[in-house]
Amino acid sequence: MPAPLSRTSSRLLQLSLVTPRPCPWGPHCIWLTPAEGRALRRIAKIVRQWKRQVRRAARERARVRLEAAED
């Protein structure tokens, strides 16, 4: 099972996708190209699937511990 992404790793992943460029809406926005937007959506989908897998595994471990404690 993969380890959870730390906040730093998550931030680095976000920054690795974004190329600095001037943004017409102000200095604090991120302007993604269509390719970057697609990549970000794909990564978000993978992360959602991974989180569900981690939660499912945690529920299974808790169920096994509970059953063992009842015996």
Which pair of tokens denotes residue 4? 């959870």
The model carries a pTM of 0.55
5-32 pLDDT tens trace? 666 666 666 666 566 666 777 777 777 7
pLDDT at 41: 84
Rounded Cα gap, residues 15 and 47, in angstroms: 16
Count of CB atoms situated within 10 Å of the CB of 48: 10
Q: Residue range 57-71: average pLDDT? A: 92
The residues, ordered by sequence, that sit 6+ positions from 5 with a Cβ below 8 Å of its Cβ are 13, 47
Domain regions of the chain by residue span? 46-71
